[in-house]
Structure 1
Amino acid sequence: MFNFNLKSKNKKYNTKDPLSYDKNISKDKGSIYNEKENNRLTLLTSNQEKIVTKIDKKIGETDSVTETLISITENISNYVGVQMLSIKKVMNELNNYSAVAEEVFSSTENSKQISEKTMNIAKKGNIAVKDSINSMKEIEKSMYDSKEIVGDLGNKCSKINDLITIIKEISNSTNLLSLNASIEAARAGESGRGFSVVAQEIKKLSQRSIESINYISETIEEINKSLYKTTNSIDTTMEKVKEGANTSNVTLGVFNDIITSVETSTNVVEEINEATNNQIKHLENVLSSTDEMNSNSEKLMFVNELASLNVQYTKTSLKSLSEVFNTLQTVNKELLGELTISSKEENSITLNTALCNIINNLDPAISYDFFNGLLLKNINSSLLLINSYGEISPGIAKSWYVEGDNLTWVFNLRKGCKFHNGNEITSEDVKYSLERILDPKIDSPNSWVLDSVYGSKEFKEGISKEVKGIKILDRYRVSIKLYYEYSGFLLNLGLDFCSIINKKEMLKGNIVGCGSYKVKNNSNSECTLEAFKEHFNGEPYINKVNIKYNSKDPYSNFSKSNLDFILIDSKEGFEKIKKDESVLINLKDIMATYYLSFNMNSNSISSKNKNIRKAISLGIDKNKIITNLLGGLGVEAIGPFPPSMIKDPSLKGFSHNKAKAKELLKQNDYFNSNNTLSILVREDDSSNLFNKITEYILEDLKDIGIKYSIVKVSPNKYLDIKNIEKCDIAISRWFADSGDPDNFLEPLFNIKNVSNISRYNNPLINEKLSLAKKTINPKKRYTMYKEIQKIIVNDIPWVPLYHPKVGLAYKKNILGFKISPLGSFAFEDVLKNKL
């Protein structure tokens, strides 16, 4: 047994009986110990028992995670080994390719030289063809001259024919005269004999002349025939010369084309040469990088082996820790067994708080309000959980992994994990719960979170009776296949609406969850949560949580010690609480946005005219709301995204400018119209933050000349899309369910979702949201969401008002409140160290 002293106001406990006072003291008091000390010891022992149980659960969980980590490191080692082989193959291929590139470079050099020779020959040919064309032209000219000479010769032959005709006529005349002379000589007798001889000679001469003339005529005729043939030959030669000239011109064109082609080819070869040269340099760089990659892979293999070794050390340490813990557990039981406490008032370990909202919807598939989520987080559990740091941690699934296709996730359930009614959670409950979110009969506003699951589309459209991507492998294993690789999927599974509920009870109409607390009663005035002792993370420290609804002044009640903790969301509450010295205040920037929403489906001027929406945006004084209503518990919003999710310094919004707002309204002829905007308002206490924000906005709208009417509905019907669609303007808020940008924008701006209360429908936004969701590269994805936000801000379906801070005030005797970036907290982490 350990020796220890518990000191309280100088009272000493006996080590043999730690709960009994020293005999002298007990005589003075007249009792072993007072009730206050007894209750305090009851609280401490209860806390200690639960802490020990939780440590045991966490050690088991860590051991499971370590086994998964060992498996992952082995897979990494295998993948690195495969990668190293692939890198070596790549290096070999690159070396071969480099050799080929060098051959190509050499060939292009030879091709370049051949092109240069071809160019020289083509240029010489070009000159020769030009000379040939010039010669052809000279021949053509000579032929024209020859044709003219032959023509002249023909003309002269014609003139000779004329002379021959004349000579023939003279010969005929001479022959006739000779005949007449012969006749006259005959008459003259002997005296005319000599004259007769002359006449005969003349006749003979005439006959010979005629014969010569005939011969000359025949010769001239032959000359004419030769001249005709010569002319035809010259004409044919001239045609051939023309054809030769045309052919030479064509040949010249071909040579010019050859020269142009060779020049182009030379340029291309030079470009190829340069590109090949650059390629060789790049290949050398790639080879160097690949070699470096190979070296890094070897280092990675070594580091992975070290990691594997350290994981094994971790596993060994966990075994040692588990052994030490078992010893601690045994000693703790013995220690607690030695303590004798007169009465255990465990039911007194209670937390009291108050909310302005009534929470009457406990169905995780349908709920999407922040305060509903705050309650659901504590009464339900999902396959995975989102912890206080906004990160994924084990839930009903103790471990999970993705298969080789990077699309199929396998989840290993905790054996013996129970629902509030004591039934064990099985794979069948998981499949049923997830399919219920996608069931068209349920028409869940949260079905978008599982749109990436294979088969979800067919199931939602009623084509398939089940979601094919969700498969039961065995009683404790479920696989979920996706359409595409989606980095936000695991975060989606950790959301409240993906809570796992008991199938058998749900079919009877009863919602039975498996969270750390179960609902004892829930009315319009209050809700009582009771600790679930068999929760997989261990029994919560606090036995009961009492929540008052619609408290008119929760801050005064807090000061009067009626409450243990409370959320602060206004300046008034902050001012009251911070004066109380017995209170601790935890402030946290959270991923949320309050906004004014335009109904883009209405027939109002605000839906049809962007400039009117811009004027309203300029007319609202956001800083006045933050300063006067919140007391600084908020940051002015420029776009939908909280800065902690997507930060874009270049984004320009619409800062308050009343003069510019009025000018825009005037330019768009608003003041000459009878346009009245209907504004949806909650019909509850004016002290409600939403109503106060609405009052400020109405003042600003009136100040710039906007005419409006009020439509009041009860708070529980305010988010009903049917009521929202009847009005032109509604004021709402959106709290991130996870830190994923897609998770934030998809419900708000995809027209398929009822949470898109503006009914904003931009096909470009829908397309970009789909692309961004499927993008794995985080930097590229971040840039895409910045672009999407800019388009939305430019379209003005909203007036983003502010991003809130959550203030949590609690008494100093309370430990363990951890607010996540999502503004939620788990009651199971909270404990009291004093009553």
Structure 2
Amino acid sequence: MSGYERRELAKRNLVSATSRVTKRTGHVANVAESLLAVTNKIALQATKQSAAVSSLKSKMDAYAGSAADVLVTSQDSVGLAKRAVDAAAQGKQSVQEFLAAMESIKSAVDAARAVVGVLNARTRDTDEMLNTIRDIAEATSILALNASIQSAHAGQAGRGFAVVAQEVKRLAERSTMSALAMQSSVDEVAQGIRKTVAALESILARVAEGEVLAASTEQSFAAIYVAANETSSAFREIGTALAQQAESLDNVTSSIASMNDSFERLYSLVEVSSSYASFAENTITALSRQAMDLSATGEALLAASEIVDARTHVVLNLPYAPQTYDPHKNFDFYGAQLLSNVHMGLLASDAKDAIIPGLASKWSYDEDALTWSFVVHPEARFSNGCRVTASDVKFSLERLADPKVESPSSWALTGIDGLAEFAAGTRAEITGIKVQDEHTVAIKLSEPFSGLLTNLSHYFAAVISAAEANEGRIVGAGAYYIAEHTDEFCRLLASPTHLKGEPAVNCIEFSFSNADIPAKLSAGKLDIAFIESAEVWAGVRALPRVEVLQRSILGYTYLGLNLRSPHPVLSDSEARRTLSLAINRSHLVEEVLAGMGAEAYAPLSPSVFGEGISGRFAPQEAERILSRFRASKPLTILLRSDEQAPLYERLGEFCIAALKAVGLETRVVRVPHSVYRNPENIAQADLYLSRWVADTPDADALLTPIFYSGVSTNMSGYSNPEVDMLIDRARKTLNGAKRLAYLKEAERIIVQDMPVVCLNYITLGVGFDQSLRHVAVSPMGLIRCEDIVKAGS
């Protein structure tokens, strides 16, 4: 390039830079204005919060006093409970003494019963003796009568005998009378004995009743004693807890007092921040005017110069052509490289994947209504020059969610009110997306959704022209537009109407080939190269005028397991987990990837998301376990037939060898890259090789597309309601630490189920000509071509 051409190129770069600075300072002014509004809102909330904290402090002071009273009452209750325990113990002792007395009475009554029994027996004996005496008396009386009769017959000789007989008769009569008197006495004694026995029986019955009652009373006292003991123990525990609570309340009260002071200081800081934000707004407005003057000067300088063809042209390589040029349908990493430079949504992302303004100049959130409001910049244009309106935004987001479009990124709009009904076909529109005027669109959420802004900042949420889309054409509002594409290349031209200013590089050409990369870089036929192999990396690093960089990106390569397959190795989770033991990831990273990667045992990289899940290489153990699951037919593995993607070929050979080493035979089926992910091809295989690079920097984007039930990118057919629930909870959680905890728990379950075998985290290699500035790879592996400036060489 001649010196004159370098000067002209510098002039064009100057015009481009000043134009972009002008537009961006305008955007920053809008952001500063929004920042000022937010700062004032924070000040209002801080005032309310400070008042709430003061009120809380008063209530906590009152509560602390009540707690102290409760503590004293509790301590009194402990004393009462102790006295109740003592009284219950005394009552129990008295009952036991009463039972002993009753037992003595029972013994005495039993003894009396025995004596009365003897007396009763003697009475019966006496009765029998009296009966005998009566019988003798009667017999004697008869004998006397007979004697009298005989003495009468004897005459004078029998008169003495008659006198004796008469005396005997009188004796018999007296014996009879005495016996009758004794019988009466004996009968009275017998009746008294019967009454005594009845009385003793009654006493025994009452004693028995007394014993039962006393036993019941003893049990009651025992229960009272136990309950009183437990109550006493509980009161002691309550007393201890109340003492601790009182101490804690003192700490809380102290903390609230400190919080109150902090809010007072915060309010002061917010006031200072508000003044700074106001100053920044004024300064940026002035800077914007100066940038406009600088831009006008640059344009005048360029117009006064002799015009030569100083267009800048940068060529990048991609291994193959995108399967689609539709941002809402793209699934491919390299397709994203191209389309992210053509399309932009309401928000955008910078080279670090941080959110920056896109087509929206302002946005705000009403937390009570769960509604985001976005104001489309009045100067926003599609690449065909037509204005971007709020209706185009609603059309584009509904198209992204439309099941007929089959977007692999439709999950990104989760949480928008009415989305489920629209996806199910029961509503013709997403009711949560409202066009409020030509430039304002409101997005109402059905529930809190932490990732909406992040999702809206990436190319797959692109706003496209509704009018052009209805005619079958895709027209975006990004920095470039597609001027021409074939099977060999795609040429992008800078959009002169780009909201952020026309890029310094006028033309970006993507060459769909991985062949001869070092030679093309050396000859100037290639300016930027994506590098996937060790051989190419070594060749590029040796070139004298080529810069190289490596970037670990948010993505992983994996061996997918078709869970719909009936093969026994895939039907059992233990067998699936055992497949992971067969993979020597250290060897894979060092030998196959030449160090361009890191060992992966789970989807979330520990280097990005903190402590992760580890694994090990244990081929003997794997062979032993897998021997129980062998089938008569080999495992079918699906590979790509394209020579443009040699990395997958090497990974496939590595996995086949690893499986063979543990006793598993495989059968290879090859299909072209363009149809590799078609469901019918995945269905005919047991295993397949793929990789996933996150669409957003959130951990959710590494799990949902591959493991959430029902999404089109979940090629393994994996479904676990618990995983879905944890991902849903994470989306609704605004606290970043809690959200990550939910996702890590989901990851743990996924690794247990093992629907895929993670192989390596991806490191992307890039080589580029030294004349290029601002070549940077984002965490998601994308290069923003609009940032690139080509200097004279």
Instruction: Describe how 1:293-304 pairs up with structure 2 within 5 A.
Output: 293-304=259-270
Shift of the alpha carbon at 1:695? 4.3
**What is the CA–CA distance in structure 2 between the aligned matches of 1:659 and 1:192, rounded to whole Å?**
144
Asked if 1 retains the 8 angstrom alpha-carbon contact of 2:328 and 2:400, the reply is yes
**What is the CA–CA distance in structure 2 between the aligned matches of 1:167 and 1:233, rounded to whole Å?**
33
Q: Provide the secondary structure at the position in 2 that maps to 1:382.
A: coil
Shift of the alpha carbon at 1:687? 6.9
Q: Which amino acid aligns with 1:404?
A: E
Which of 37, 55, 61 is the equivalent residue of 1:71?
Answer: 37
- Deviations along 1:21-41, whole A, 9 cap, x unmatched? xxxxxxxxxxxxxx9444333
Shift of the alpha carbon at 1:617? 4.5
Q: Which residue of 1 aligns with 2:307?
A: 343
Asked if 2 retains the 8 angstrom alpha-carbon contact of 1:528 and 1:545, the reply is yes
Shift of the alpha carbon at 1:389? 1.0
Q: Could you tell which deviates more after superposition, 107-116 or 518-527?
A: 107-116
Shift of the alpha carbon at 1:472? 1.9
Q: Which residue of 2 aligns with 1:49?
A: 15
| Pair 1:292 & 2:258 matched | yes
Shift of the alpha carbon at 1:392? 0.8
Shift of the alpha carbon at 1:141? 1.7
CA 1:255 to 1:541, structure 2 compared with 1: closer, same or farther past 3 Å?
same
Which of 270, 274, 280 is the equivalent residue of 2:236?
Answer: 270
Instruction: Describe how 1:720-739 pairs up with structure 2 within 5 A.
Output: 720-739=678-697
**What is the CA–CA distance in structure 1 between the aligned matches of 2:182 and 2:433, rounded to whole Å?**
122
| Pair 1:446 & 2:409 matched | yes
| Pair 1:652 & 2:603 matched | no
Shift of the alpha carbon at 1:518? 0.8
Asked if 2 retains the 8 angstrom alpha-carbon contact of 1:572 and 1:629, the reply is no
| Pair 1:778 & 2:736 matched | yes
Shift of the alpha carbon at 1:710? 3.0
Asked if 1 retains the 8 angstrom alpha-carbon contact of 2:568 and 2:629, the reply is no
Q: Provide the secondary structure at the position in 2 that maps to 1:776.
A: coil
Q: Which residue of 2 aligns with 1:5?
A: none
- Deviations along 1:263-301, whole A, 9 cap, x unmatched? 111111111121222221222222222222222222222
CA 1:307 to 1:261, structure 2 compared with 1: closer, same or farther past 3 Å?
same
> TM-score w.r.t. structure 1 length?
0.88
Q: Which residue of 2 aligns with 1:252?
A: 218
Asked if 2 retains the 8 angstrom alpha-carbon contact of 1:365 and 1:437, the reply is yes
CA 1:213 to 1:385, structure 2 compared with 1: closer, same or farther past 3 Å?
same
- Deviations along 1:578-597, whole A, 9 cap, x unmatched? 23222222332222222232
- Deviations along 1:465-497, whole A, 9 cap, x unmatched? 222222222222222223332322211112221
Which of 344, 354, 373 is the equivalent residue of 2:336?
Answer: 373
Q: Which residue of 2 aligns with 1:826?
A: 784
Instruction: Describe how 1:685-704 pairs up with structure 2 within 5 A.
Output: 685=643, 688-698=646-656
Q: Which amino acid aligns with 1:43?
A: L
- Deviations along 1:169-196, whole A, 9 cap, x unmatched? 4444554566567667878999999988
Shift of the alpha carbon at 1:72? 1.6
- Deviations along 1:214-266, whole A, 9 cap, x unmatched? 33322322222222122111111111111112211111121111111111111
Instruction: Describe how 1:83-122 pairs up with structure 2 within 5 A.
Output: 83-122=49-88
Asked if 2 retains the 8 angstrom alpha-carbon contact of 1:418 and 1:514, the reply is yes
Asked if 2 retains the 8 angstrom alpha-carbon contact of 1:646 and 1:786, the reply is no
Shift of the alpha carbon at 1:464? 2.0
Which of 403, 414, 422 is the equivalent residue of 2:385?
Answer: 422
Q: Could you tell which deviates more after superposition, 193-202 or 534-543?
A: 193-202
Instruction: Describe how 1:148-163 pairs up with structure 2 within 5 A.
Output: 148-163=114-129
Q: Which amino acid aligns with 2:665?
A: K
**What is the CA–CA distance in structure 2 between the aligned matches of 1:448 and 1:398, rounded to whole Å?**
25
Asked if 2 retains the 8 angstrom alpha-carbon contact of 1:417 and 1:424, the reply is yes
Q: Which residue of 2 aligns with 1:742?
A: 700
| Pair 1:405 & 2:363 matched | no
Shift of the alpha carbon at 1:381? 0.5
> TM-score w.r.t. structure 2 length?
0.92
CA 1:290 to 1:147, structure 2 compared with 1: closer, same or farther past 3 Å?
same
**What is the CA–CA distance in structure 1 between the aligned matches of 2:99 and 2:581, rounded to whole Å?**
83
**What is the CA–CA distance in structure 1 between the aligned matches of 2:192 and 2:578, rounded to whole Å?**
106
Q: Which amino acid aligns with 1:601?
A: R
Asked if 1 retains the 8 angstrom alpha-carbon contact of 2:314 and 2:509, the reply is yes
Q: Which residue of 1 aligns with 2:358?
A: 395
Identity of aligned residues (%): 29
Q: Which residue of 2 aligns with 1:25?
A: none
Q: Which residue of 2 aligns with 1:4?
A: none
CA 1:202 to 1:689, structure 2 compared with 1: closer, same or farther past 3 Å?
closer
Which of 256, 280, 304 is the equivalent residue of 1:314?
Answer: 280
- Deviations along 1:730-777, whole A, 9 cap, x unmatched? 222211211111111111122412322333334443333333333333
Which of 474, 491, 515 is the equivalent residue of 2:454?
Answer: 491
**What is the CA–CA distance in structure 1 between the aligned matches of 2:784 and 2:539, rounded to whole Å?**
25
**What is the CA–CA distance in structure 1 between the aligned matches of 2:339 and 2:587, rounded to whole Å?**
33
CA 1:208 to 1:333, structure 2 compared with 1: closer, same or farther past 3 Å?
same
Q: Which amino acid aligns with 2:615?
A: G
Shift of the alpha carbon at 1:536? 0.8
- Deviations along 1:193-214, whole A, 9 cap, x unmatched? 9988887676566545544433
Shift of the alpha carbon at 1:160? 2.7
- Deviations along 1:371-398, whole A, 9 cap, x unmatched? 1111111111011112111211111112
- Over the aligned positions, Cα root-mean-square deviation in angstroms equals 3.0
Q: Could you tell which deviates more after superposition, 774-783 or 525-534?
A: 774-783
Shift of the alpha carbon at 1:132? 1.6
| Pair 1:678 & 2:649 matched | no
CA 1:340 to 1:397, structure 2 compared with 1: closer, same or farther past 3 Å?
closer
Which of 19, 24, 28 is the equivalent residue of 1:62?
Answer: 28
- Deviations along 1:384-415, whole A, 9 cap, x unmatched? 11211121111111222221238322222111
CA 1:330 to 1:755, structure 2 compared with 1: closer, same or farther past 3 Å?
closer
| Pair 1:514 & 2:480 matched | no
- Deviations along 1:110-140, whole A, 9 cap, x unmatched? 2222222222222222222222212211211
Q: Which residue of 1 aligns with 2:318?
A: 355
| Pair 1:164 & 2:127 matched | no
CA 1:390 to 1:435, structure 2 compared with 1: closer, same or farther past 3 Å?
same
| Pair 1:808 & 2:766 matched | yes
Asked if 2 retains the 8 angstrom alpha-carbon contact of 1:681 and 1:691, the reply is yes
Q: Which residue of 2 aligns with 1:463?
A: 426
| Pair 1:230 & 2:196 matched | yes
CA 1:255 to 1:360, structure 2 compared with 1: closer, same or farther past 3 Å?
closer
Asked if 2 retains the 8 angstrom alpha-carbon contact of 1:686 and 1:692, the reply is no
Gaps of 5+ in 2: none
Shift of the alpha carbon at 1:427? 1.4
**What is the CA–CA distance in structure 2 between the aligned matches of 1:613 and 1:719, rounded to whole Å?**
21
- Deviations along 1:641-699, whole A, 9 cap, x unmatched? 334433436x33244x666666666x4475xx653333323233367433344345455
Gaps of 5+ in 1: 1-34
Asked if 2 retains the 8 angstrom alpha-carbon contact of 1:735 and 1:822, the reply is yes
CA 1:149 to 1:325, structure 2 compared with 1: closer, same or farther past 3 Å?
same
Q: Which amino acid aligns with 1:830?
A: I
Asked if 2 retains the 8 angstrom alpha-carbon contact of 1:419 and 1:512, the reply is yes
Asked if 2 retains the 8 angstrom alpha-carbon contact of 1:592 and 1:733, the reply is yes
Q: Could you tell which deviates more after superposition, 35-44 or 95-104?
A: 35-44
Q: Could you tell which deviates more after superposition, 121-130 or 791-800?
A: 791-800
Q: Provide the secondary structure at the position in 1 that maps to 2:244.
A: helix
**What is the CA–CA distance in structure 2 between the aligned matches of 1:277 and 1:476, rounded to whole Å?**
61
CA 1:233 to 1:41, structure 2 compared with 1: closer, same or farther past 3 Å?
same
**What is the CA–CA distance in structure 2 between the aligned matches of 1:432 and 1:181, rounded to whole Å?**
154
**What is the CA–CA distance in structure 1 between the aligned matches of 2:414 and 2:317, rounded to whole Å?**
36
Number of residues of Structure 1 aligned to a counterpart in Structure 2: 793
Q: Which residue of 1 aligns with 2:521?
A: 558
Asked if 1 retains the 8 angstrom alpha-carbon contact of 2:19 and 2:292, the reply is no
Q: Could you tell which deviates more after superposition, 431-440 or 718-727?
A: 718-727
Q: Which residue of 2 aligns with 1:768?
A: 726
**What is the CA–CA distance in structure 1 between the aligned matches of 2:338 and 2:441, rounded to whole Å?**
27
Asked if 1 retains the 8 angstrom alpha-carbon contact of 2:26 and 2:285, the reply is no
Q: Provide the secondary structure at the position in 1 that maps to 2:322.
A: coil
